Structure 1
Amino acid sequence: MADIWMPQAIKADLDDHAPCDPAFPPKAIAHITADRTATAAAPADLVPFADLQKLFTRDGKGKAPHILWDPFAGTFAQFFPATSRSKALRDLPGGTRTNRAGEVVIQIEALFFPFCRVKGKVFAALADTPCHGWQELNDWVRSWDVPDTWPMGQPTDFTSHRSARVWKSQGGWYAHAHVPENDHVDPGSWPVFAARMAPAEPFPGVAFFHTGQKSPVIAAMHRRLVAEDCDRYRPGDVIDVWEMDDVKSYAAWQQKLGLSGRAADGTPGKPSWDRLRVPHLA
């Protein structure tokens, strides 16, 4: 069964849940936060992820999506379970219940506005960003039987294309610019669908990681940490045995994810393990 909470996301449950309408096919809706106005001549710094997360749990909770996604860091926050409607779409009385019109209607707000500046580099379109985390996001949406299709066409500009007939009859991905009763024209672009990931090794539990533990899972983890440039191993390290070099290397991975303090002490936890994607061992 699919997870109602995206495993990689910070859970920020707003509690205000309401059912979706299974009379319609499953959908995902692509938005951008568009929280600042910038131009090529006058770019602006990206708003911090924490600021938008706070907004959607306070004054902006009436317009909160399911998922806030930072495509520069691969960070997520989730405000509603997948089985509930969220509130990022205009939903007029008596019309199509846009926020609920599907077995799921998963709404994603990418932290982005055109000509945002990140670490000195300016990005004109969302698709130009690193799109970190897109693989995990795409796979989680797929787990809810949302097909990898754009019934109204993949967004390539800030133009409105709306059809109530298509919206009611076809599942898949829709831009905010495609949704009936709405007047927004975002997101302007979106990454292409990711190749499906190979199965990952499930989290073996915190108790598994103790000094002297010998397992092919440790070896597979070692190789992934090296591939992620979190190699803190000394020459001659025994790759299938858990020891201090594994602690140091895993702490480097946790720090790469933006964790700190006790959350980056080198002891694997389920969220960081799920994001490492250790290949499943048959």
Structure 2
Amino acid sequence: MSTGPQKYPGADTAHWYQNTFSSDAMETNVVVWHSTEGTTLPDYDGGSTAPNLTAVPDFKAQKLVWYQHFDIDRSSRALVNLTGGVETNTLNVVQVEIVGTCDPGIHKKWGSTAHLYMADLPAWVIRDLADFARWAHDNHGVPLTSGVSWKAYSASYGADNGVRMSSSHWESFRGHCGHQHVPENLHGDPGAFPMAAILAKAGANAVAVPAGSAGAVKPKVSLKNVVAAAKADPPVRQGKTSHPADVKPVEAALRKLGYLGAAYATDGAYGTTTVAAYAAYQRNLGYSGKDADGIPGATSLKKLAAASGLFTVTA
């Protein structure tokens, strides 16, 4: 069930809890962000309330030091999960705690003590969080999208904070959200989190709509040709590709919407990376199992064209 690397590169596993506490296998498609409301690595009650990873600031070196507690595709334990309701910890979410605070009162109280305040993260923290978001996208297909509003603490606290998802929204959600958005939970962290800046740094906005595109003639993409390329090309061998003129607009659209990295070449080859990106896009539409195979269908391709504004679809 699990695919892709399970350890974040460079993460310290000295505080490993997967062998102590039960966890479920899953296929990650959501990142849930938390703040610890402290200044040091928590012990998480011996690991019983631990996330998958914790990011600890090293102010001198201006970098985040990562600790991993569970594999990426194993459920962790930092969310409330009520009996009889929706699943939270086990619903394909990788959870990341950032050592710092989202509470402006605590931020003021800590004063000159070195700490991270979620509403005003320094550029080096945004850089390192973006690196993780990009890694989760490239290796596990987590979309570089959010689509939820991030409220400042303490307005973000409570069941009726105005941004907490309904059960159905939560079950269909893909991408990045915070503890404040998860149903059955009351927490308001990570407050006014700079998610847009993190995703932009990660490359979600690397492809802009071309100037004048609103009135421009958009390229026509043949569904038949794209499907043929998707089935023929992976893995692409010796640079030979199928129907590159039809595939390139699809690659550009996937990049614009955050499913392909900025470094990925728009080469018209529907290779394994494009298959994985399109599958992640399908899952974000609500497809699952064999329906999220990375092979375009008429409905999903037309939705991609409409969402990106970069092409139109023909038979």
TM-score range, shorter chain: 0.5 to 0.7
* Structure 1 outlier segments of 4+, above 3 Å: 116-127
In structure 1, distance between residues paired with 2:119 and 2:12: 22
Q: 1:48 aligns with which of 40, 48, 61?
A: 40
**Structure 1 Cα separation of the partners of residues 77 and 98 of structure 2:** 15
Pick closer, same or farther for the CA change 1:121–1:82 going to 2, 3 Å.
closer
**1:13 CA drift (Å):** 2.1
Aligned residue for 1:125?
118
Residue 152 (1) aligns with residue 152 (2): no
SS in 2 for 1:30: strand
CA gap of 1:7–1:21, structure 2 versus 1, over 3 A, is closer
User: What is the TM-score when the length of structure 1 is the normalising length?
Assistant: 0.55
Q: Distance in 2 between matches of 1:149 and 1:66?
A: 20
Residue 106 (1) aligns with residue 94 (2): yes
Q: Distance in 2 between matches of 1:195 and 1:124?
A: 20
Find the counterpart in structure 2 of residue 19 from structure 1: 24
The aligned runs of 1:64-213 (5 Å cut-off) are: 64-71=50-57, 72=59, 73-102=63-92, 105-113=93-101, 114=103, 115=107, 117=110, 124-129=117-122, 130-131=124-125, 133-142=128-137, 143-153=139-149, 155-158=150-153, 159=156, 160=161, 161-162=163-164, 163-191=166-194, 192=197, 193=199, 194-196=201-203
Aligned-pair identity in percent equals 25
- Residue 34 of structure 1 deviates from its aligned partner by 1.3
SS of equivalent to 1:177: helix
1:125–1:189 Cα contact (<8 Å) kept: yes
Q: Which one has a larger percent helix, Structure 1 or Structure 2?
A: 2
Change (3 A) 1:122 1:4: closer
Aligned residue pairs total 175
Instruction: Give runs of aligned pairs for residues 235-274 of structure 1, distance below 5 A.
Output: none
The runs of 5 or more residues in structure 2 that have no matched partner are 205-315
C-alpha deviation, 1:123, in angstroms: 5.6
User: Aligned partners of 2:119, 2:64: CA distance in 1, in Å?
Assistant: 13
> Given that residues 40 and 56 in structure 2 are in contact (C-alpha distance below 8 angstroms), is that contact kept between their aligned partners in structure 1?
no
CA shift for structure 1 position 122 = 6.8
RMSD: 2.6
Greater RCO (CA < 8 Å, at least 6 residues apart): 1
Query: What TM-score do you get using the length of structure 2 for normalisation?
Result: 0.50
